[in-house]
Amino acid sequence: MTACETPVQVNLGSRSYYIHVAASFEELPNVLAPLVEGRRCAVVSNPTVWGLYGGAVSEAIVAAGGTPVAVLMPDGEEYKTLSVFERVMEDCVTAGLDRSSVILGLGGGVVGDMAGFAAASYMRGIGLVHLPTTLLAQVDSAIGGKTGVNLVSGKNLVGAFYQPRAVYINWKTLASLPEREMRAGFAEVIKYGMIADAALWELLEETTAPVMAAISAHAPLPEVVGEIIRRCCEIKAGVVAADECESGVRAILNYGHTFAHAIETLTRYRTYVHGEAVAIGMHAAATYAHALGLCSAELVARQRAVIEAAGLPTRLPRVNVDELMAAFARDKKARGGSLTFILPEAIGRVKVVHGCDESLLRSTLTALQA
């Protein structure tokens, strides 16, 4: 891939922006210049990511004419809370941010969600730029404007839709990820192939095992990783442009997530990273879809093979099925007490299913724990 290919546009009228997919931070000053020149810039990050990339990002902000300041939060989903959000807000005040300032989220999904919600809320909304450093964030959470924090009752129950002014992806930052995080991010990649792109799916069937072998050997990531990320961004951009606030087609991006969010909530975010829960959720969704007669056993098997090639789990943890059902009912996609699931019909095509066959769902959940 070139240093910075033609960017991917998220077409939202006056709120449109570009996703820049690059193999370095070389072009970052040029992307930031029209957004940060003469402005104070809070870089929301965690200590680990800041230690790796804070210097390069700060230099880019200065080169673009801005003034950077670090606003650090603890690392981990368990810190995506209202109390940590309040601390981030106070740090922005201490840093002297005003209504012309910009918040940049440098890190994975937790940092991005926090930075986005902070930008949406601080002085009723200031500029936002995402600099995602994990695979999950690069292909999914940094794109589309969903921000938020968790409550004890469930994931992302407090937040806002707030679009960034730019997303800059340096996919070479993935080389610094722990192997577990890189594998977990592949769950969202697998999701895109299943929901929207049979050609991407076939590419994943061919390349997931060798990509994972490179990760395990700490070898340079193959160039196909950049190509996969760009294709995922194109899919996400198209879905977001068609349905910004998740009132229709955008719901398909939650494939596997109804199950995943329930798993994360019941395990208090301490057993699985998000992508692992999504992997389990996708297998559960496909298994339930097959039980309903919506998809073939071959689809379930092909999906499971790619998930397992990525080194991801497929079995549900041993949790109480009644508690799982209750967690499904609290999911944001539930309407009027009716559960909503995104279920596959074929490779590259899913459907939104309202309501459920409770007996069949319960037996599926029980079998998946066996």
The residues, any chain, with a CB within 8 Å of residue 333's CB and separated by 6 or more, are: 251, 254, 258, 340
Establish whether 246 is a catalytic residue. Answer: yes
Establish whether 254 is a catalytic residue. Answer: yes
Establish whether 30 is a catalytic residue. Answer: no
The residue from 130, 257, 283, 332 that is catalytic is 257
The residue from 188, 234, 264, 276 that is catalytic is 188
The residue from 20, 130, 146, 230 that is catalytic is 146
The residue from 77, 234, 246, 264 that is catalytic is 246
The residue from 40, 183, 250, 332 that is catalytic is 250
Establish whether 362 is a catalytic residue. Answer: no
Establish whether 274 is a catalytic residue. Answer: yes
The residue from 274, 283, 290, 333 that is catalytic is 274
The residue from 150, 156, 170, 254 that is catalytic is 254
Establish whether 146 is a catalytic residue. Answer: yes
The residue from 20, 130, 230, 236 that is catalytic is 236
Dist CA 257 CA 304 (whole Å): 16
Establish whether 236 is a catalytic residue. Answer: yes
Which of 91, 163, 160, 168 lies closest to 127 in space, CA to CA? 163
Q: Catalytic amino acids?
A: 124, 146, 188, 236, 246, 250, 254, 257, 261, 274
